[in-house]
Amino acid sequence: MTGLTPKVFVDFDGTITRVDVGNSFFRKFGNEEESLKAVAKWKSGELSGSGLLVKEAEYVDVSETEAREFSRSCEIDAAFAKFRSLCTDHGIEITILSDGLDFYIAEILEANGLSGIPFYSNSVRFDTRKISVELPYESGCTKCANCKGHQILMRTGPDDVVVYIGNGFSDRCAVEYADMVFAKDDLLKYCEENNITYYPYQSFDDVLAKFGKAVMSGTFRKRHRAELKRREAYLTE
């Protein structure tokens, strides 16, 4: 590979997994109606990312064993492992950034032989049939509990080309700083509305095709607006 080497950051819920595991978890073991209301408030900006998690966790009634068993039953995108192998084979770092919860990410990665991938997310402590959410990466962002934009700034330098793959509202801060964006669902709409250049995808097969070509030809380029935003942010961090 010639030229710039990318650093890849990937969302977890609905991107690596087929469904949003966090949402499914809170609907199954919490209060579905309250969860839906809280998510709507978060999407409209009435509730912060941290506020959303704390609210949803209030209603949860589950044992740690049940929660972990439920996690292991969640399926992932069939082509994700292939994408990960491509990155590993070419010495490209891949990191999962999630505004979801650590226990299900760890369980699902392990169940699929992918435990080696580093991830940064919120944490959960189990206590009898209750959970409490811990927010180790709160950064002051009002939209996110674990702001992926902040994570990218902490984990990259001026020479990196940032690749981001995501699907939802919790990826909004990340794509501002990403040079190459793969988007679907709500994130795709956000990129459209905010003039952020992106590649649409449905599964990691689509990502593999586009990203694989860039890897083979060494044609990773910085996106001017993302580079400026990162430069500004590195100066003020």
Q: Which residues sit at the interface with Mg ion, rule CB under 5 A?
A: 11, 13-14, 167-168
Q: CB 104 → Mg ion: shortest distance, Å?
A: 13
Give me the helices (H) in 49-181, please.
49-58, 64-72, 80-89, 102-111, 148-155, 172-176
Beta strands 161-166 and 130-134: pairing type? unpaired
For residue 64, give the amino acid letter: E
Q: Closest CB to Mg ion among 156 and 167? A: 167
Other beta carbons within 10 Å of 115: 12
Q: Closest CB to Mg ion among 122 and 167? A: 167
Q: CB 212 → Mg ion: shortest distance, Å?
A: 23
Q: Closest CB to Mg ion among 183 and 215? A: 183
**104 closest CA partner among 137, 150, 66:** 66
Query: Taking a C-beta distance cutoff of 8 angstroms, is the pair 30, 54 a contact?
Result: no
- Distance in angstroms (rounded) separating the CA atoms of residues 153 and 141: 13
State the chain's maximal CA–CA distance in angstroms: 54
Q: Closest CB to Mg ion among 49 and 168? A: 168
Q: Closest CB to Mg ion among 204 and 220? A: 204
Residue 17, beta-bridge partner list = 76
Q: Closest CB to Mg ion among 13 and 56? A: 13
Q: CB 186 → Mg ion: shortest distance, Å?
A: 8
- Angle among Cα 44, 27, 52 to the nearest 5 degrees reads 35
Per-residue buried b or exposed e for 2-26, using 16+ beta carbons within 10 Å of the residue's own CB: eeebbbbbbbbbbbbbeebbbbbbb
Q: CB 115 → Mg ion: shortest distance, Å?
A: 20
Q: CB 207 → Mg ion: shortest distance, Å?
A: 14
Q: CB 128 → Mg ion: shortest distance, Å?
A: 30
